[in-house]
Structure 1
Amino acid sequence: MGSLSSRLLRPGDAVAGGGGGGRGGKRKRGGAEGPGDSEGEAEREERLLTTPRRKKMKSTSKYIYQTLFLNGENSDIKICALGEEWNLHKIYLCQSGYFSSMFSGSWKESSMSTIELEIPDQNIDVEALQVAFGSLYRDDVLIIPSRVVALLAAACMLQLDDLIQQCGETMKETINAKTVCGYYNSAGTYGLESVKKKCLEWLLNNLMTHQSVKLLKELSINIVKELISSPDLVVMQVEMDVYTVLKKWLFLQLVPSWNGSLKQLLTEADAWFANHRREDNISFLESEQGKVFQSVFTHLRLQYIINDLASARIIERDALIPTGWLSSVYKQQWFAMLRAEQDNDVGPQEINEEEVEGNSMRCGRKLAKDGHYCWRWTGFNFGFDLLVTYTNHYIIFKRNTLDQPCSGSVSLQPQRNVAFRLRLASFDSSGKVICSRTTGYQILTLRKDQEQIVLDCRLLVFPLYISCNFLYTSPQRKADSEALPEHLET
């Protein structure tokens, strides 16, 4: 039947029926030819005889599908599965790797006229088998997104490579908040790495920007671990917000029956953890109930949470994080501050992507509409007061020293470096990226009160999501990290 193509069937779509060729309008009868008509009757007849006419014939593919598959005419084998029977044809079934091996080898089924199929995969149902068998008799197949996982399971069992590919394309086209977790898990089960990658990209872009109770409930420990450890996680606004999302997610994993609104979720989570706080100073993650979640929370970049007083107080109050983790991070930040103050650390000297990706501050902001904006991300940044401005479709970084008031200490070193990556993106209603732009990883050297354009935002659409990675200090020295636990070492 040739290569298989798919058509995505969405609600409201109708399948058009075939029609015959339409009749043309009648030639208007008239009297004798006027003096201006120089074409003779013989020439007109000759032209009619030599002009080709296109007539739509009944599709061979449709005929085969209707007569052989649906009607089962001239069937030479019966397939039985899940209480249903299909009268099929070996010559068509051999397009399937599963049946090709069965019929060409020394299997007893090669000579049988009726075959009972065992279906070990619970994702496969009768409807999925009907579509999968039918795809062997036609050139295209209608794939309903809500049925794609079942169809993928059937296609994988029957080793229908073209259909597997079409299922994968359909999944990539229809990723949204309702489908992403199911697609991710199915892609892992059935080996569709490109689909799994697309789902992960969607989650990195939308976990923080488009939260929902349902989505947080569906996220497994392994998915969340991969998201939280990624430098590509789009964070709104700072790392403390990553912790807050994790706290909501953790509560929903522990109390999956909770069905309140997203607005109520944080309050309910805080109240639950307050009621379960231990009196022996053991953190929740060290308890029997919490140990299984430690591998997720180790990927929090705690150094960018404890650098803000309000955030540090919340971390201490919640008592989710082991005190040993926090003590090590405080020590790490103390050495970083001493290097900046006493050892004249001017910041990163060269781009080490692994270093920046694993240790950079993740932060972001949403611009709802075009205009003029200026902001800074809160926290102690070793005397580097970075102001970010969006104006006239440009993003500008400024090292503020004396021009603007600052609530903390400001470095007066003549020059300071910052390693950074800036990404801008716009999303459609389903969370897919419409357009994006990035600076890639760079090092910016700024003198006191110097500003510099870092990205041209023209041709991007609003609302605009800005995601940044920053590293203000040079890599941690070996002597400073000797006492750090393994998960905090650079």
Structure 2
Amino acid sequence: MGSLGSRFQSSPRGPEEAVERQCAGNRHSCECRKRKRSSHCECDSEPEEEDSQLDTPRRKKLKSTSKYIYQTLFLNGENSDIQIRALGQEWNLHKIYLCQSGYFSSMFSGSWKESNMMVIELEIPDQNIDMEALQVVFGSLYRDDVLIKPSRVVNVLAAACMLQLDGLIQQCGETMKENVNVKTVCSYYNAATMYGLDSVMKKCLEWLLNNLMTHQNVDLMKELGAEIMEQLIQSSDLFVMQVEMDVYTALKKWMFLQLNPSWDGPIKQLLLDADAWLCKRRSEAGEEEPFLNTDDGMPFVPVFRHIRLQYIINDLASARLLERDNILPPEWLSAVYKQQWFAMLRTEHDNDNGPQEANKEEFELNSMRCGRKLTKDGDYCWRWTGFNYGFDLLVTYTNRFIIFKRNTLSQPCGGAVSLQPRRHLAYRLRLASFDNSGKVVCSRSTGYQLVTLEKDQEYVVMNLDSRLLSFPLYVCCNFLYTSPSSERRGDTPEPENSARSVS
């Protein structure tokens, strides 16, 4: 290698380059900076060279500190001061990093025998924890970012909970909420229940309420247990397609799959096979006993109790199907028939024009649940079947408006129509569209509302922004046509009203 001076001389300099130098002999600033075109300093015979021209060897970029620590200390186990053994695997780790875990921090700081041990055998009581999950969790102590696969998140969550790693637990929860779909929702819900992740439980329930009826799936029905199904069926937030009878039908299919888990076939065939199975069971056993009163049927009683039967027996064809299936105990139906009969008499003879005061508790427990799927943009008009105490409600979707109309005389109606001047209605209308995984793409809700409608009056329920609409669009409604019990004057008439003169 040549001297520094010779290396300077080997690099020619451009004529336009400005030079600044401090003269070595007299410490005064060189005046050549004023002469822009001079390439040499008068007090120095050697040309100046910029730092960029120096032949400095490039340094190889070092790994980030986190990557270096992860590779050297965790993967290579250098300078390890403790060994953790679990599930037939050994990890050479470091106490200072393990103390990030509440589990190990307590172990090392207390009077536990493990605080001075060099080798610790971990007992793993949770079957969800496997060797791969422990590898991820131990490794998270040595790095900034951890990638958690959605398919492995339950196992990692289990290990993180055991070792009391709050940050990792939170990350697992966020991963789960972002990846709820038909394949993960049940396992995520069960894990969230086991490990106390309330926000994940809420997200899973929300997904199921939206998708159980709108996107029926055989595998999902097989996986849903009675406890979670009971929560879904009793909720007024259940997105019901068509009417309450469809909730009963869905439960019948679900019950059949629970008792026949090996059944395999398309969703369209499921109801036919469920009905055939029930029919065969009745004929072979010769049982007149309702299915829910049998040993096989008893586990399903809590779920079927939450069907809102008052909105099934108001339709003749549906009532006949209930009788034919013989799933429900007859006393259930008798109580509802009596309840509906008194409700009709109140409407006709006691001037019950419907709910007039806000009663959300009654609404949540007893409102009619119904829905409709709009496959594409266009004009739609429909009504839901069943006797609704003379309230013939027409629902219209047109020009991105949703309109309720109380029909009395303007449109044909197949049943009795109330001619009372005014009728009151409690309602909630929700709209939603979903992506392929069942996540809500857009949604709107009116919230709980009260409205009074005169004969043939129209009422604009919702005005939609076309930019937010996505089809198919699901419309879900809840209705109360009669007054809640707190507003009723009682089912037993006063003595003076028991006889009325007829003119």
User: In the alignment, what sits opposite 1:469?
Assistant: 478
Deviations 1:326-351 (A, max 9, x none): 01101100001101111121100111
Residues 340-489 of structure 1: pairs in structure 2 closer than 5 A: 340-458=347-465, 459-476=468-485, 477=488, 479-480=490-491
CA contact (8 A) 1:390 1:396 kept: yes
The structure 1 segments of at least 4 consecutive aligned residues displaced by more than 6 Å after TM superposition are 38-42, 44-49
Residues 29-44 of structure 1: pairs in structure 2 closer than 5 A: 33=16
CA contact (8 A) 2:16 2:37 kept: no
CA contact (8 A) 1:332 1:480 kept: no
- Does residue 95 (structure 1) correspond to residue 104 (structure 2)? The answer is no
Question: 3-state DSSP class of the match of 2:157?
Answer: helix
- Does residue 196 (structure 1) correspond to residue 201 (structure 2)? The answer is yes
- Does residue 172 (structure 1) correspond to residue 181 (structure 2)? The answer is no
Structure 2 letter corresponding to 1:446: L
* Distance 1:92-1:361 versus aligned 2 partners, 3 A rule: same
Higher deviation after alignment, 385-394 or 470-479: 470-479
CA distance in structure 2 between the aligned counterparts of 1:31 and 1:104, rounded to whole angstroms? 69
Residues 57-68 of structure 1: pairs in structure 2 closer than 5 A: 57-68=62-73
- Does residue 181 (structure 1) correspond to residue 171 (structure 2)? The answer is no
User: In the alignment, what sits opposite 2:122?
Assistant: 117
Structure 2 letter corresponding to 1:333: Q
CA distance in structure 1 between the aligned counterparts of 2:327 and 2:215, rounded to whole angstroms? 25
CA distance in structure 1 between the aligned counterparts of 2:51 and 2:394, rounded to whole angstroms? 78
CA distance in structure 2 between the aligned counterparts of 1:370 and 1:404, rounded to whole angstroms? 24
User: In the alignment, what sits opposite 2:293?
Assistant: 286
Structure 1 letter corresponding to 2:394: L
* Distance 1:383-1:79 versus aligned 2 partners, 3 A rule: same
Question: 3-state DSSP class of the match of 1:141?
Answer: coil
CA distance in structure 2 between the aligned counterparts of 1:478 and 1:306, rounded to whole angstroms? 24
Residue 460 of structure 1: how far off its partner (Å): 2.2
CA distance in structure 1 between the aligned counterparts of 2:335 and 2:279, rounded to whole angstroms? 25
* Distance 1:40-1:180 versus aligned 2 partners, 3 A rule: farther
Residue 41 of structure 1: how far off its partner (Å): 8.4
CA distance in structure 1 between the aligned counterparts of 2:289 and 2:350, rounded to whole angstroms? 37
- TM-score, normalising length from structure 2? 0.85
Structure 2 letter corresponding to 1:468: C
CA contact (8 A) 2:359 2:484 kept: no
Residue 256 of structure 1: how far off its partner (Å): 1.1
CA distance in structure 2 between the aligned counterparts of 1:48 and 1:320, rounded to whole angstroms? 88
* Distance 1:118-1:478 versus aligned 2 partners, 3 A rule: farther
Residue 281 of structure 1: how far off its partner (Å): 2.8
Question: 3-state DSSP class of the match of 1:425?
Answer: strand
Kindly, what percent of the aligned residue pairs are identical?
73
Of structures 1 and 2, the one with the larger relative CO (CA 8 A, separation 6+) is 1
Residues 248-327 of structure 1: pairs in structure 2 closer than 5 A: 248-277=253-282, 279-327=286-334
CA distance in structure 2 between the aligned counterparts of 1:201 and 1:480, rounded to whole angstroms? 38
Structure 2 letter corresponding to 1:312: A
Consecutive unaligned residues in structure 2, runs of 5 or more:
1-11, 18-34, 40-47, 54-59, 493-503
Provide the aligned length of Structure 1 versus Structure 2. 446
CA distance in structure 2 between the aligned counterparts of 1:57 and 1:74, rounded to whole angstroms? 21
Consecutive unaligned residues in structure 1, runs of 5 or more:
1-28, 50-54, 482-490
* Distance 1:478-1:323 versus aligned 2 partners, 3 A rule: farther
